[in-house]
Amino acid sequence: MTARDDIAPRVVTAYDWGSLGDVLDVGGGDGTLLIALLNEYPSLRGRVFDQPDLAEAARKRIEAAGLADRAGAVAGDLSADLPPGAEGYLLAEVLHDRDDDDTRDLLTRCAEAVGEDGAVFVIETVTRGRDLTALTALAEGAGLMVADVHDAGEVAVLELTRP
Ligand SMILES: C[S@@+](CC[C@H](N)C(=O)[O-])C[C@H]1O[C@@H](n2cnc3c(N)ncnc32)[C@H](O)[C@@H]1O
C-alpha cells in the first residue's frame, strides 16, 4: 500500500478535478492518486511525472486500469524543467521532505509550467507538512498565491494560482 491508497479517496472528493482538462502529478509515484482521479472524473486526462522506475510502474498500473487512452507517465527529474502546459500541477506529499529553498524552487517551476488559467495543488497530510502560513509564504516567494484551501480531513489541498 502507498500513502495514497488511504487518502486518495478523500483527495478525489475535495475538489472538482473534472473542471481541469489535464493534470501532471509531479512526483506521482506509482500513479495511485492519478488513477483514482481519472476513475472518478471521466473527462480528466493526466500524466505521472517521476523517476524512471516509478514512471514505468505508473505506466503499467495505468494500462492495467484501462486508462491508457487518458493517461500516461513521463520519466524525469523534479530538479529540472517540468513538462509545460497542464492545467493542474499536483504535488502530493512531495514538499514535506524538501527544505524551504528546494520547495520554493519546485513551486517556481510549477508556476512557470502551468497554463495561464491553471493551478498548482499542494496536497499534504497536515500533521506531516508545513503549516498554512509557511506554505503561503513559500508559494508567494514562487510567484503564486493561495486561491483556496480544500479540506480533505487529515489532508489539505492548497490551490495555488498566479496573482
Ligand atoms: C513521498 S513520495 C510521494 C508519492 C506520491 N505523490 C504519493 O503521494 O504517494 C515522493 C515522490 O517523489 C519522487 N521523487 C523524488 N525526487 C525526485 C526527483 N528528483 N525526480 C523525480 N521524482 C522524484 C519519488 O520517486 C516519489 O515517487
Alpha helix (H) ranges present in 45-94? Answer: 52-64
11 in any annotated domain: yes
* Cα of 94 from ligand 1 centre, angstroms: 6
Which atom of ligand 1 is least distant from the CA of 91? 6
Is it the case that residue 35 has pLDDT exceeding 60?
yes
Contact between 137 and 104 under an 8 Å Cβ cutoff? The reply is no
For the stretch 36-68, pLDDT in tens is 999 999 999 999 999 999 999 999 999 999 999
For the stretch 99-115, pLDDT in tens is 999 999 999 999 999 98
143 in any annotated domain: yes
70 in any annotated domain: yes
* Cα of 76 from ligand 1 centre, angstroms: 11
Total-model pTM: 0.96
59 in any annotated domain: yes
99 in any annotated domain: no
94 in any annotated domain: no
Q: What is the mean pLDDT of residues 69-88?
A: 96
Angstrom distance (rounded) from CA 62 to CA 72: 7
* Cα of 50 from ligand 1 centre, angstroms: 6
Number of structural domains in the chain: 1
93 in any annotated domain: no
Which atom of ligand 1 is least distant from the CA of 29? 27
Residue 18: give the domain boundaries. Answer: 3-87+105-161
Q: Give the domain CATH number at 125.
A: 3.40.50.150
Is it the case that residue 1 has pLDDT exceeding 80?
no
